[in-house]
Amino acid sequence: MVPLQFEFLAFGIWLAVVIGLIILDIVIAVWVYRDAKRRGMEAALWLLIVLLTGLIGLIIYLIVRE
């Protein structure tokens, strides 16, 4: 059996990774929004696409952008 202190440590590390990934996803989505707006594209649509699909949406945006 794993001691309780290690379970809390593992949960803390897991939580930090999840929060970090969420923050990274938001930062990427904001960058896509600003870039799409600057290029005259549908910025809100691209923001939604990237937030919902993550890395796949970013790759699609980078391929499609004008």
Confidence of residue 42 (pLDDT cuts 50, 70, 90): very high
Distance between CA atoms of residues 19 and 12, nearest Å: 10
Question: What residue ranges do the domains of the chain occupy?
Answer: 22-66
Per-residue pLDDT tens digits for 48-64:
999 999 999 999 999 99
The whole-number pLDDT of residue 47 equals 97
The whole-number pLDDT of residue 35 equals 98
Give 60-65 contacts, CB < 8 A, sequence gap 24+.
Answer: 61/32, 61/36, 65/35, 65/36, 65/39, 65/41
Distance between CA atoms of residues 52 and 42, nearest Å: 16
Per-residue pLDDT tens digits for 2-29:
566 777 788 888 999 999 999 999 999 9
User: In terms of pTM, does the model score above 0.85?
Assistant: no
